[in-house]
Structures are given as C-alpha cells and as structure tokens.
Amino acid sequence: MRHVQVINRDNAGELAEMVRFGLLFRANRVNFKLASLHGGTEACAITVAQRQWLKEEGIEEARHLAANLGVRTNLHLFQDQITSANNPGVTTDMDQIGCYMGFLYSRITVDGEVLFCCDSDSRVAELEDGPFPELWFGDKWQALRERIGAKNWFPGCRRCGKYEQNIEWRRRGDESNPHH
C-alpha cells in the first residue's frame, strides 16, 4: 500500500509524522506532493516561510527519519518540486519536466466526460461520442498531444499532481532515445 501525502499550509510541518504514519500502517512507500490549488482552495497554499523551512530543514529531517526507519519515500522528488516551484500557485515546472499524461493516461468522469489528463479544462469528448479507442487514437486527441508536446499547456498544468510520473516517463524516454 502506498500513502500519498498532499502537502498544504495546515500540514506542511508534519512530514516526519507522515513518515511515522507510513511505518505504523506498513506502507510500502510514502509519497509527498504539493496540493493542487484551484477553485477556492488557493488559501490552503503553503506559506513562503513554510516553503523556506521545508527547503532548509523539514524535508531533510523527514528524509533522515525515513532512512533510519526504513520507510521508502519520494522526498528527493518532493525536494525538487519545492525548490523549482516558487510561485504558490505552481506545483510543477512543466517546461522543465514535460508532460506525458495524455500519451499514457486519461481520466473519465463519473458523468462520462473524457479528459486528456486530470485537468478539468482538458476535455476531449464524452464517452457517448464513440468507443474509447476511437477517441484515444482520434484527431482531437492527437491535436491535444501535439499542443502539449509544443509546451502549450492547459491552464491547470502548472498545478499538475503527476510530477513523479512525468519525471519517470521523461527518464524512460531519455533512456530509449539517448540522442533526444
């Protein structure tokens, strides 16, 4: 079981406790990510002081504890995320890491809306528009892939919660195409 800890202003000082929680409940890994802030949740953003504390002390303290307890985490990536995203509304520097989600992943809402990724502004179609494979391989989806490939991001991309997945898929792409 993997625990995902979404960090906001109310829990930013509790990373070490989150590591202990993962140990207590036998998580095979504890992941940390910044809260995606939108539609009124912006007030939950970590403060400038919290960001500074996380950079200077909090993450390193939690990493040390995790190593001592044998708890696997993604705190090295969370450190990168905290360091690279200095704007409170930004959780991911998309220009730096790129996006692979609409090439590997989709989201379908409970009411049948087909999204390119998690971003609610990334609507591709409705399930009633056709079978999913036709949508996935269709012109509209391909146009969105080209848009994202050109770094023409959706408004919500700067809040992307798929930071770790995008890092991993970029790494895989670099390995398979060393001249990229």
**pLDDT, tens digit, 9 for 90 and up, residues 137-151:** 999 999 999 999 899
In the prediction, which pLDDT does 83 show? 81
What confidence tens digit (pLDDT) does each residue in 73-126 have?
999 988 888 887 666 556 677 888 788 888 888 989 889 999 998 888 889 999
DSSP string of 44-101, one letter each residue:
GSPPHHHHHHIIIIIHHHHHHHHHHHT--B-HHHHHHHHHH--STT-S--HHHH---H
3-state helix, strand, coil in the chain (%, to 5): 55, 10, 35
Out of 3-7, 19-23, 98-102, 146-150, least confident range: 98-102
